[in-house]
Chains A and B, each alone.
Chain A
Amino acid sequence: MSGSATCAPTSGPSAISTASAPASPRCRRRSVVGREAVVVGSGAAGSVVAYELARRGWEVTVLERGRHMRSGLGRATDGDLGTRYGSDEIKSARHFGFPDPLLEPYTQRTREDAAAGRARTAVGAFGQLGAAVGGTTLHYNAKFPRFWKQDFSTLSDLGPQPGAQVADWPITYADLEPHYDAVERRVGVSGSRAAMPARTREQAPRRSEFAMAPLPISHTGQLLRTAARLSGYEAYPQPAAVNSAPFRGRPACTSCGLCSGFGCPIDARGDAITAWLNPAVRAGRVRVLARAFVHRVDTTRDGRRVTGVRYVDARGRRRRIAADTVVLAGSPINTARLLLMSASGAHERGLGNGSDQVGRNMMFHAFTLAAALYPDDLHPLRGQSNPLQMDDLMGPFTGPEVRALGVPWIKGGLAQVGSGVPAFAEAKLLAPILGFGTAHRQAMRAGLLHQRVAGSQLVGEDLPLADNRIDLDPDVRDHHGFPAARITYSAHPHEKVAAVLLGARLERMHLAAPGSLGAAVIPFPLVQSGPYATAHLAGTARMGTDPRTSVCDPSGRLHEVDGVWVADASTFPTFPGFNPTNTIMSNARRVAFAIAGATTAKAS
């Protein structure tokens, strides 16, 4: 540790604070060894960057708009961190760990609404995007697959799609592979290399075995594994950042089944805090400011160099931190919003937006749900949810049945197999269909969703479109007075065709589930207009080699502004059909290496 900076306290209890930052002007570098960075967002991406930079002697300030939910951060060992979470559906429904839609609304519309001149059709909460120290990883399902080799060269391999902006990644699987290895080792991933299908191992090769054996497979998972086999498919334990055995002082999962949307109160899930933030803060070079909402990135007058960020602190005071390295990691919607809010004379359309691509190419995974229905109580909530992965619907598919539907190719995604719905969520789903009274009561007592289904979800690839985008809502503001992020989204024919063809295969597979009465699918791209209620987001600040068509260079640095880097999934040029957290963390680690390397080179 260089000890080269005087930034006030970066260890001990005050390292995590909702108070304002210690006056940043006091932070003066005394040597080129010690560097400083401001990281915006403390989730899957920001936490990794903070950890990696701190490891190299940097002083890092992480600004997080959400609250701090885990007591002992920076003091306790990972296994001794406290939690405010519980297996409590009411808490979860009351926006716990999420931005409150009354204070920080998102607005939404479809592309068709936009074309018709409608400014928005919905205002309020959006999907599952969390806001807390640790970000959405505090309540994610912790599925941890890797992207495949083929995902980095989709345009070269398959060609364009009319109406979409399909692009190759400027990096390859090989560039990410060492980071995948390191991230998985640190977060703690359960799985079985031997159980992975041959094509998966070839497309996502791994040098080492998983840190832990697979989790136990729920009964619904077993039924659907059989269904997959009968359909010529192969379901295998999905890599998950969930402990199947004690790992680094944290216990094994006890299979309560309340995963996605819930914090894990026994701490069996590897998240941004246990893997990255807590060790980084404990080592004494990282401080985390909770309830610090960053609304602007400042640059020199000519717009070429970053000078700091402005934020509103927990007490509502406007603050500024000087910085010559700023890392954006607020997730795609909010990273785009921040860049757009940082427009200036030198960057009239938004910071780093000479390409006019900031906010564009917003991608959500295109889910298709399927389930087999049973006469009996299968106890679908016993076991970690969706314990199995199936890659047979990954694609690409280029056959005549695809072309007959009007697109040159489709890519699907992995299917997560076996899950259930807890009671309150089920009751809410039934409410608008059945209304109040006896019908609702009897349907709940029949136990359809929390007892009698074995289901799966296909995590479908979503293509990047210029007009599926984030911009600033012209009218709706947040409680600080800043414009809300507006989401404009409609599915491309690619997603609809994939849902038609792959949804049918998924339904057929569920029909083969032993003992089932029937099966059905809900293909979201076909039945829902607008964005899906998911936490899987990518795009809005794509990386590439050409500044005319991309926002960031291959290392995540803004083409047009020195010192600003984007570390989250905003930089993804495409959004392959995998749960994204492993790739977000691994890519953030790659970006952190680039930040350290670039500034070291300059300093020396």
Chain B
Amino acid sequence: MDDEGTGAQAPLTGGVTRRVLLRDGTAATVAVLLAGSATATTGDAIAVGLRADGRAAFLTAAELRTLRALCAVLIPTDDLPGAADAGCPEAIDALLGAFAVSPPRIWAGGGFSDRGGAPRNDFVRFLELDRYERRAWRIRIEGTRGLQRLEWAGPVRGWQAVYREGLAALDRAARGDFAALPVPAADTLLRTSRDPDVQELLDVAFPHAIEFLYGAPEYGGNRDLAGWRAIGYDGDTLPRGYTPEQIAAPPEPGLAAVPAEILLGLLDLAPLGGSSELVHGLTSRSGERLSDLRADLGALGDLDGLGARLAALQEEVRRGA
């Protein structure tokens, strides 16, 4: 058992080969290309969602296509890539197939990526899981599969089933091919479907799309830092961090000039911005489901008016842009 986490990177199984493509010098995001016979070399490589035979890690090519179409609606591309174009579908697939490789792609390594001045990227070396963690994550991904010894807290439907059956339900609802729908039609279908498989898919897939678009790129989404660039976010900055001058720097306009009256409409939510501690507690308690997040936020009282105010914001920003 790897108890210290400093051992050499375990080789990937399943004949996965890796080659690194550096997209640009400042944001050294890595992507993976298929390479015929390349062997895994340094730690500076990640394998995201593709096996040597070119198929997806868990989903079929057709399922992945449907998932891409879903992601395009969940977080749309505007002048910068949204979820579908920033690698989120492949990252979700890699998560569903996390145990097809070793170590499983659950937790990126510590302590630094190479975005904050570190000489090498530690994030690309995923951590070995111990017995406890393996057990938890296999259940989360594969479900309890009718095995009574795993059902101490009742049966768990794994993400693999949620995606497989949810994507099939989407295609059924679209008369065979969800990906063929124009975006407005796909959006409407998602918002109006009462199919429990579709609803459960949304419940899991939207948080996943968020996670991969706004999380570290080593997990496969946020490709070329598209997610962070779109929102003016620096991401991880260690070990460099910020200088005293940067800390004291005066405010800047930010990416979007948001009208003051619209910002004021957001005040209900603003206090949450003052507490990374409570926010972290809230969002981590919610796990990975939108419905759980909704329940937690719902407990914060009447946020009903907020949706309308934010919709107005969206209109304003779009008009101003």
Contact = CB atoms under 8 A, between A and B. Distances in A.
Given A90-B108, A125-B285, A373 B270 contact: yes
Contacts of A258: 236, 238
B284 A261 contact: yes
Interface string B136-176: 10011000000000001100100000000000000000000
Nearest to A506: B271
B110 A127 contact: no
B62 interface: no
A481 B267 CA distance: 46
Contact of B214 (A424, A434, A522): A424
B254 A447 contact: yes
Given A67-B130, A383-B247, A453-B270, A528 B301 contact: yes
B232 interface: yes
Given A86-B122, A256-B236, A530 B280 contact: no
B181 interface: no
A94 B159 CA distance: 14
B260 A517 contact: yes
Nearest to B237: A256
A254 B247 CA distance: 10
Contact of B254 (A103, A263, A452, A529): A452
Interface string A252-264: 0111111111010
A382 B242 contact: yes
A399 B109 CA distance: 54
A455 B228 CA distance: 22
B22 interface: no
Contact of B247 (A17, A89, A123, A219): A219
Interface in B249-298: 249-256, 258, 260, 263-264, 266-288, 290, 292-298
B75 interface: yes
Contacts of B4: 68, 71-72, 82
A522 B110 contact: no
A278 to B, nearest CB: 14
A265 interface: yes
Contact of B133 (A67, A425, A433): A67
Given A16-B3, A421-B279, A520 B139 contact: no
A382 B240 CA distance: 12
Contacts of B139: 102
A432 interface: yes
B195 interface: no
B153 to A, nearest CB: 6
A444 B230 contact: yes
A258 B227 CA distance: 18
Contact of B234 (A102, A316, A381, A477): A381
Interface residues of B, number: 123
Interface string A92-119: 1111101011110100000000000000
B284 A369 contact: no
B219 interface: yes
A345 B271 CA distance: 51
A535 interface: yes
A373 to B, nearest CB: 5
Contact of B293 (A67, A124, A259, A432): A432
Contacts of A260: 276-277, 280
Nearest to A100: B136
A433 B310 contact: yes
A210 interface: no
B135 interface: yes
Give the most central of A102, A371, A435, A452: most B CB within 10 Å: A102
Contacts of B213: 427
Contacts of B256: 445-447
A366 to B, nearest CB: 11
B203 to A, nearest CB: 11
Nearest to A254: B241
Top 3 A-B pairs ranked by shortest CB distance?
A455-B274, A254-B241, A265-B111
25 contacts: A84-B109, A87-B236, A88-B107, A88-B123, A90-B215, A217-B247, A219-B250, A256-B241, A291-B130, A373-B263, A418-B274, A420-B276, A422-B276, A423-B227, A429-B283, A431-B206, A433-B307, A436-B74, A446-B254, A448-B273, A481-B152, A518-B264, A520-B267, A524-B300, A532-B278
Interface of A: 16-18, 67-69, 71-72, 82-96, 98, 100-103, 105, 122-128, 141, 216-219, 222, 253-261, 263, 265-266, 290-291, 314-316, 367, 369-383, 385-386, 418-457, 476-479, 481, 517-522, 524, 526-530, 532-535
Given A124-B292, A218-B247, 6 more contacts: A100-B132, A265-B111, A427-B213, A455-B275, A479-B152, A520-B267
